[in-house]
Amino acid sequence: MLLIPSRIKIKGILIDLDDTLYPYPLCNEAGIQATVSYLASKLKKPSEQVRQAFLDGRAATKELLKTAAGELAASHHRLLYLQKAIEGMSGRTNPEFTLVAEQVFWEAYLARMVLFPGALEFLERAKAQEKMIAIITDMTAQMQLKKVVQLGIAHLVDFLITSEEAGRDKPDPAALHLALKKTRLSPHEVVMVGEDEAHDIAAAHAAGITAIAIHKNPTDASVPFAKNFQELIKILDV
């Protein structure tokens, strides 16, 4: 497959948020480190134990909220991870520590956020061409809205659709169907951009929408691929 396939003319762009528009792992790690430091001090526990408790809380939350249709938005909720982590270390719910720890996590996370090179230019070019832009993202609406504001792209986004609003995480196509309803566009008039083949690309295909993978080369050679936003600009001719 050619790295840059034939250009695609579309009226709307559906795009993932986490690890597509900005590097998620760096932000998540910043949040974890800040939270571990806070809880280690408050609970008088070694940092290694606190980190493991956080990871165990995450795993337990995801397992608890797993459904036949896939994960729910609440399965990404750091508040639940932290509640379980603190309960595991102290044997009880500590509302104050849980709430403050979540705040510490997100303050550090948001402070670390920065768009991938070329992402802002891509969104600005698309908006200049009067294309509809909808962010399709798993997780809870409140935090995803905060991320969009923190990244400074709120004025470029027409709609943000979360799995909390749609009811199910990707690869279920529910959020994409909702995006089509909100934008009043049909599947052949939009394209989905995302880095996760198993979720973003699969959800697009399930909704009958053309998908373009970015950052990570897909295993499916038929899926158009852009190494970065500069290449995506060329693919979509924006």
Report d(CA 27, CA 202) in Å as an integer: 25
Is 18 one of the catalytic residues? yes
83-99 burial, b at 16+ Cβ within 10 Å, e below that, comes to bbbbbebeeeebeebbe
In a 13 Å sphere around the CA of 71, the CA atoms on its Cβ side amount to 21
| Listed residue (130, 116, 124, 192) closest to 161, CA to CA | 192
Residue 232 to residue 121: CA distance in whole angstroms = 11
**φ, ψ (nearest 5 deg) of residue 142:** -60, -50
Instruction: Name the active-site residue from 18, 169, 172, 196.
Output: 18
Looking at 16, 19, 169, 196, which residue is catalytic? 16
Edge-first strand listing for the sheet containing 159-162: 159-162, 132-137, 12-15, 190-194, 210-214, 225-226
| Distance of alpha carbon 234 from alpha carbon 34, whole angstroms | 39
Active site residues: 16, 18
